[in-house]
């Protein structure tokens, strides 16, 4: 139950404020000493004025314009809502549970992965890149049903089919299809006798339901109205959901016509996936995952792929995390070039005035002004360029990547190394983020929120840094420098290329000092005590990605640690802390569980050093872990249990978090063999 704070007595000031809020032109100032009276810390839900991002290039503007067109599941709030862009015309499919005794309820919005008691359970099926075909199943309040969508010459058809289920009520549920315009887009919707009439920016789009009789059979609108009492504030169709129901835009279609369109689109999607051969399951998983996770952000008029809709709804409409969104760009590259470019460019466009890509960005311009996240941007951008060869993309991405690269050197350098940090005095001050300027904020910058690697790390409040020379950060930064230097070469920027290679060489030399011969590993160093930390995680293998290990060191790391079943090898690989670490049994988030991004980055390093047998086994084990719950439940987990292989064993593993598909992507790379995504050795 939400607790309601007691209301203060009505003072002269509060009365004046209530009148002002009522619409009167007036002003009121709080009296000195009136402690009960206060305004929020910010006068608006938006951040104070910040420098505007650079204007979109013509090429990138075309990418977003190509995207934000037509019907798709653009609305972040529900996977059963279809929206037509740019009009904003929305068709919502909801279900009303009917009971004879105090049990009626209405499910208007449907999300994948909700875990609250009584929440709907969704099994997501195929979702094509362009939204031309979607398919999902929902179970809620004892009812089970399937919703498919398909496009036909620019029109949308929806097919809702009840599935066999054990009844929990004597009454059938009611299918409710409401139609409105989202995001304050201009438009009108009116319920007519046998259709819903809509008028938007581009003209009229009628919406028909097979539950309504054709005009020749319709009686007056008052005799033919839907009588379901549902909390729908827009015109709607409602029908007892005991048989399939079809919805069509543009023109009336029979149920059999709608079923035929859906079947054609379904077969077209299946053929497209099957044509990729052995890669078919992972291509299906990645296309489907990004299809359901991709949304439209009306505030900035852009298409983006946040990590999942659950996260986005909880953050006010969307949340873009730094390395998560770069990984989404990499995943999209297997079939959606424009989507890959959109995700890479939009997270770069969230760069702060200080010049770094933030840990997170959310509506209103709020972001982590105190901290960044792992620097994987340049290797992502270089990988996309090697695949698609669009020079304009490098030109658009280079300057923000360079500012970010310089920021690490200027703000996270200590004693010749790089360390994670969180700046304390940041403006604007995000009062809701209690981790800013703290030890926890610095750990959040690593992206490894509760990793045992940092259990004993000391945070220096003067430097705002963890006093740890971090192998993972330095390795990723070196790879970032090398990739960005190669991009500078392509763009004919010799000065910047020289600068970047000099920084790469300097930090590579520092990283070599973290090699421990007795341990056969690169180890984090506690700069407070001068001692190595012997807690091992996948980040200790990242020097392979940075081309820093000698061949002998690489083989020692692989043989003595990676392939050691007491540490990292086993049925399920690769745990986020070594199996013999005291924290491994926790299996709590980064304390022992398996994460797609770690497997992906380790695999990129193995491509630089390991033999084909090791790479193949690593990729197959990663893919097998991913396929288990993908095939059984349609889940793409944020993380997986390293003991059981399950992702469903805890509540802290989102059921549809796109970077989980990186576990399958490594197998795709192993099978397809595209150009390596890490830069060559300097």
Helix ranges, 24-166 (H): 58-67
Quickly count: other Cβ atoms within 10 Å of residue 585's Cβ. 12
The pLDDT value given to residue 348: 98
Contact 540, 560 (CB under 8 A): no
The pLDDT value given to residue 39: 57
Helix (H, G, I), strand (E, B), or coil: what is residue 182?
coil
Across residues 228-244, what is the average pLDDT?
91
Contact 266, 149 (CB under 8 A): no
Element (H, E) at 236: strand 236-240
Topology annotation, domain 307-326+358-535: Glycosyltransferase (1.50.10)
Q: Which residue shows structure tokens 């290990």? A: 549
Instruction: Kindly report the backbone phi and psi dihedral angles of residue 142, in degrees, each rounded to the nearest multiple of 5, phi listed first.
Output: 80, -5
Higher pLDDT, 254 or 427: 254
For residue 100 the two structure tokens come to 């004879």
* β-bridge pairing 187-191 and 81-85: unpaired
Whole-structure pTM over 0.85, yes or no? yes
Across residues 473-491, what is the average pLDDT?
98
Which residues lie closer than 8 Å to 458 by C-beta, 6 or more apart? 466, 467, 526, 528
Task: Give the dihedral of Cα atoms 566, 568, 569, 574; nearest 10 deg.
Answer: 150
**Tens of pLDDT, residues 294-345:** 999 999 999 999 999 999 999 999 999 999 999 999 999 998 799 999 999 9
Contact 309, 76 (CB under 8 A): yes
Contact 542, 476 (CB under 8 A): yes
Confidence of residue 464 (pLDDT cuts 50, 70, 90): very high
Helix (H, G, I), strand (E, B), or coil: what is residue 442?
helix
pLDDT at 25 over 90: no
**Spatial distance between the Cα atoms of 398 and 391, rounded to a whole number of angstroms:** 11
Q: Which residues pair with 106 in a beta bridge?
A: 96
SS (H, E, C) 548-613: CCCHHHHHHHHHHHHCCCCCCCCCCCCECCCCCCCCHHHCECCECCECHHHHHHHHHHHHHHCCHH
Quickly count: other Cβ atoms within 10 Å of residue 150's Cβ. 27
**Spatial distance between the Cα atoms of 437 and 681, rounded to a whole number of angstroms:** 36
Sequence ranges of the domains in the chain: 72-271, 307-326+358-535
Q: Which residue shows structure tokens 């670490």? A: 581
Residue 457 CB-density burial (10 A; 0-12 exposed, 13-18 middle, 19+ buried):
buried
């Amino acid at each position: 139950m939400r607790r309601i704070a007691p209301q203060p007595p009505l003072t002269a000031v509060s009365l004046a404020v209530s009148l002002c809020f009522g619409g009167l032109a007036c002003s009121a100032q709080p009296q000195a000493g009136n402690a009960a009276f206060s305004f929020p810390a910010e006068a608006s839900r938006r951040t104070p004025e910040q420098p505007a991002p650079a204007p979109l290039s013509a090429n990138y503007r075309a990418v977003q314009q190509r995207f934000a067109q037509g019907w798709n599941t653009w609305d972040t709030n529900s996977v059963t809502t279809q929206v037509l862009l740019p009009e904003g015309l929305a068709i919502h499919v909801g279900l009303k549970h009917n009971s004879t005794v105090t049990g009626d309820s209405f499910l208007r919005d449907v999300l994948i992965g909700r875990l609250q008691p009584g929440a709907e359970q969704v099994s997501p099926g195929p979702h094509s890149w362009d939204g031309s075909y979607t398919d999902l199943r929902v179970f809620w309040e004892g009812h089970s049903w399937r919703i498919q969508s398909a496009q036909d010459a620019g029109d949308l058809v929806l097919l809702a089919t009840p599935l066999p289920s054990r009844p929990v009520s004597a009454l059938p549920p009611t299918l409710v299809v409401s139609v409105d315009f989202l995001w304050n887009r201009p438009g009108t919707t009116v319920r007519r006798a046998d259709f819903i009439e809509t008028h938007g920016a581009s003209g009229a789009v009628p919406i028909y339901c097979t539950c309504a009789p054709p005009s020749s059979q319709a009686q007056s609108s008052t005799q033919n109205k839907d009588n379901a009492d549902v909390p729908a504030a827009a015109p709607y169709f409602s029908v007892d959901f005991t048989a399939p129901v079809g919805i069509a835009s543009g023109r009336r279609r029979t149920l059999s016509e709608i079923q035929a369109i859906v079947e054609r689109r379904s077969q077209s999607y299946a053929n497209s996936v099957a044509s990729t051969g052995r890669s078919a399951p992972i291509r299906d998983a990645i296309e489907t995952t990004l299809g359901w996770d991709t949304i439209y952000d009306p505030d900035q008029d852009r298409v983006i792929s946040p990590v999942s809709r659950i996260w986005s709804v909880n953050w006010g409409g969307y949340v873009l995390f730094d390395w998560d969104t770069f990984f989404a760009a990499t995943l999209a590259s297997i079939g959606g070039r424009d989507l890959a470019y959109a995700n890479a460019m939009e997270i770069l466009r969230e760069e702060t005035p200080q010049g770094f890509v933030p840990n997170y960005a959310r509506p209103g311009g709020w972001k982590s002004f105190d901290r960044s996240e792992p620097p994987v941007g340049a290797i992502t951008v270089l990988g996309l360029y090697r695949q698609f060869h669009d020079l304009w993309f490098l030109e658009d991405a280079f300057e923000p990547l360079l500012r970010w690269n310089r920021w690490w050197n200027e703000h996270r350098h200590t004693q010749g190394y790089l360390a994670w940090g969180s700046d304390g005095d940041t403006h604007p001050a995000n009062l809701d983020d209690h981790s800013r300027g703290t030890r926890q904020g610095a750990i959040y910058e690593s992206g490894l929120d509760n990793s045992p690697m940092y259990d004993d790390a000391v945070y220096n409040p003067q430097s705002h840094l963890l006093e740890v020379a971090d192998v993972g950060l330095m390795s990723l930064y070196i790879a970032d420098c090398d990739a960005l230097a190669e991009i500078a070469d392509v763009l004919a920027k010799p000065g910047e290329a020289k600068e970047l290679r000099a920084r790469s060489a300097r930090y590579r030399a520092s990283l070599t000092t973290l090699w421990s011969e007795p341990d056969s590993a690169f180890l984090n160093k506690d700069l407070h005590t001068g001692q190595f930390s012997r807690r091992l995680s996948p980040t200790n293998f990242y020097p392979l990605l940075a081309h820093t290990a000698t061949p002998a060191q690489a083989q020692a790391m692989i043989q003595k640690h990676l392939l050691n079943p007491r540490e990292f090898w086993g049925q399920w690989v690769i745990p986020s802390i070594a199996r013999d670490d005291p924290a491994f049994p926790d299996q709590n988030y980064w304390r022992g569980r398996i994460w797609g991004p770690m497997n992906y980055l380790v695999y990129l390093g193995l491509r630089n050093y390991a033999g084909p047998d090791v790479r193949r086994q690593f990729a197959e084990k990663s893919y097998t872990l991913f396929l288990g719950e993908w095939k059984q439940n349609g889940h793409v987990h944020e993380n997986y249990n390293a003991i059981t292989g399950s992702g469903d064993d805890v509540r802290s593993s989102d059921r549809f978090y796109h970077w989980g598909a990186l576990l399958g992507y490594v197998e795709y790379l192993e099978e397809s063999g595209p150009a390596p995504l890490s830069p060559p050795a300097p």
